């Protein structure tokens, strides 16, 4: 069966990574019709927008996109394209597996880390409901808060105070928690852990926890527990093998997924998927690394593993397993890998982005031949 997929080439090192991932997917034999589209700072310089409407139209049509990294300016500039895509397309579930592959350098090689982070994508502080310091509407909001609140007030003035609103809803929480339990059931996972700060934020995180407990009763075959987010960070560093699927509000999910990626060797091996009712966008967890642009140096593993998630989403499970196994074996062998996957980062035998992709493609063919 042929599939049409939008390929967003991104900026910085994105085009190099997109090329590597595309070649690896094609090597599996799955028929993909790639609709190549642009987004990011490069296209913004030419067109005045970092996300052309043609790119959005393509994703809406194909309902499946593989997106290379895109730069998000810090503090200034355009808003995160990643966040916009999730909200505009209703991609409410962010799935970030964090799995150790032998050969990756990490302090946790002896611990069988195999976690899946399920992050709510559309609510929480990432909803973008913000009020800038020094603005009249910020002063009005602070005045309203201080008038309506009996015990908690904003004690600093509007000229020096910015405010972000944290919406957490019953419907949004039900949706993401059910997604986490269904994911656990469909992927033979044993436990779901809800992560929160309900001891402090009782009307937002408290709501998240209450709803999660209620939804958990619908899945008696899956173990359920909850953890306070700061304790969860300590638990993951001390004993990550006790955890399986974590479900979290947006901000905690972003932070915890980076922590979990650190357990298995870093963002270079951390894939991601953003899934909604009417489509999905697959992307590496890491950024665009613009300082390495055009150097054929960065590790393509995270985007290739994101393509593995994409293949599973497209119900091409055999091809997904084949591609993941090829990636794992190339990393385990350690010969044709990028500098960050070598025991010594200055190892002169390290290969480039495209050469590692070449090795994965060769490994796919080798595995197919062996299986015959």
Domain locations along the chain? 1-99+266-372, 107-120+168-263, 130-164
Catalytic one of 35, 254, 340, 358: 254
Residue 238 CB contacts under 8 Å (≥ 6 apart), including other chains: none
| Among 55, 61, 72, residue whose Cα is nearest residue 7 | 55
Looking at residue 80, its pLDDT comes to 76
The CA radius of gyration of the chain, in Å to the nearest whole number, is: 21
How does 298-322 read in b/e, with b if 16+ C-beta sit within 10 Å? bbbbbbbbbbbbbbbbbebeebbeb
Q: 180-237 pLDDT, tens per residue?
A: 999 999 999 999 999 999 999 999 999 999 999 999 999 999 999 999 999 999 999 9
Catalytic one of 230, 241, 344, 347: 230
Mean pLDDT, rounded, for 324-335:
97
Decide if 197 is catalytic. yes
Mean pLDDT, rounded, for 327-346:
95
User: Domain 1-99+266-372: which topology?
Assistant: Isopropylmalate Dehydrogenase (3.40.718)
Looking at residue 75, its pLDDT comes to 47
Of the ranges 48-57, 77-86, 270-279, which one carries the lowest mean pLDDT score? 77-86
| Among 95, 36, 123, 138, residue whose Cα is nearest residue 257 | 95
Decide if 321 is catalytic. no
The burial of 90, by beta-carbon neighbours within 10 Å (0-12 exposed, 13-18 middle, 19 or more buried), is given as middle
Catalytic one of 92, 126, 183, 336: 126
pLDDT at 78 over 80: no
Task: Look up the CATH architecture of domain 107-120+168-263.
Answer: 3-Layer(aba) Sandwich (3.40)
Decide if 358 is catalytic. no
Looking at residue 327, its pLDDT comes to 98
Mean pLDDT, rounded, for 85-110:
91
CA torsion sign for 179, 182, 187, 192 is positive
- State the greatest distance between any 2 C-alpha atoms of the chain, in Å, as a whole number: 74
Contact 11, 50 (CB under 8 A): no
Catalytic one of 197, 297, 342, 363: 197
Q: Same topology for domains 1-99+266-372 and 107-120+168-263, yes or no? A: no
| Among 45, 46, 65, residue whose Cα is nearest residue 55 | 65
| CA 229 to chain CA centroid, nearest Å | 18
Looking at residue 76, its pLDDT comes to 47
Q: Which residue has the tokens 């895109």?
A: 70
Average pLDDT, the chain: 94
């Amino acid at each position: 069966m042929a599939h049409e997929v939008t390929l967003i080439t991104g900026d910085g090192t994105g085009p190099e990574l997109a090329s590597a991932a595309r070649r690896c997917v094609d090597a599996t034999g799955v028929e993909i019709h790639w609709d190549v589209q642009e987004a990011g700072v490069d296209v913004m310089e030419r067109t005045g927008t970092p996300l052309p409407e043609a790119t959005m139209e393509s994703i809406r049509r194909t309902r499946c996109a593989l997106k290379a990294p895109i730069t998000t300016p810090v503090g200034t500039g355009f808003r995160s394209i990643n966040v916009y895509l999730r909200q505009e397309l209703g991609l409410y579930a962010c799935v970030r597996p964090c799995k150790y592959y032998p050969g990756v350098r990490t302090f946790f090689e002896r611990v069988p880390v195999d976690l899946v982070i399920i992050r709510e994508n559309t609510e929480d502080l990432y909803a973008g409901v913000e009020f800038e310091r020094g603005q009249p509407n910020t002063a009005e909001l602070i005045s309203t808060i201080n008038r309506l609140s009996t015990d908690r007030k904003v004690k600093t003035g509007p000229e020096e105070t910015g405010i972000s609103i944290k919406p957490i809803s019953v419907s949004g929480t039900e949706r993401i928690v059910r997604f986490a339990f269904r994911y656990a059931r469909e992927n033979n996972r044993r436990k779901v852990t809800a992560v929160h700060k309900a001891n402090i934020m009782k009307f937002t995180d408290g709501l998240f926890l209450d709803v999660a407990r209620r939804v958990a009763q619908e899945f008696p075959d899956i173990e359920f527990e909850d953890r306070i987010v700061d304790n969860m960070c300590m638990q993951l560093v001390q004993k990550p093998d006790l955890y399986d699927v974590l479900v979290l509000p947006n901000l905690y999910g972003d932070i915890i997924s980076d922590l979990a990626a650190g357990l298995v060797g870093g963002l270079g091996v951390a894939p991601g998927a953003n899934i909604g009712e009417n489509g999905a966008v697959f992307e590496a967890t890491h950024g665009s690394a613009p300082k390495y642009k055009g150097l054929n140096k960065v590790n393509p593993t995270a985007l290739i593993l994101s393509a593995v998630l994409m293949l599973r989403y497209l119900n091409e499970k055999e091809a997904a397993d084949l591609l993941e196994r090829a990636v794992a074996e190339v990393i385990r062998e350690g010969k044709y890998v990028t500098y960050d996957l070598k025991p010594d980062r200055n190892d002169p035998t390290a290969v480039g982005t495209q050469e590692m992709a070449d090795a994965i493609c060769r490994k796919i063919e080798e595995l197919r031949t062996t299986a015959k």
